[in-house]
Amino acid sequence: MGKWNYIAVYGSVFMLLMLIFRNGSDYFSDKLSSDLFTINSILKQLVSTAIGGFIYGLITWFMNERKYEDLIKRQANESNS
pLDDT over threshold 90, residue 58: yes
- Rounded CA separation 41/61 (Å): 30
- Global pTM value: 0.74
For 29, the domain range is 3-80
Supply the mean pLDDT for the chain: 87
pLDDT digits (tens, 9 = 90+) for 20-38: 888 777 767 776 666 666 8
What is the count of structural domains for the chain?
Answer: 1
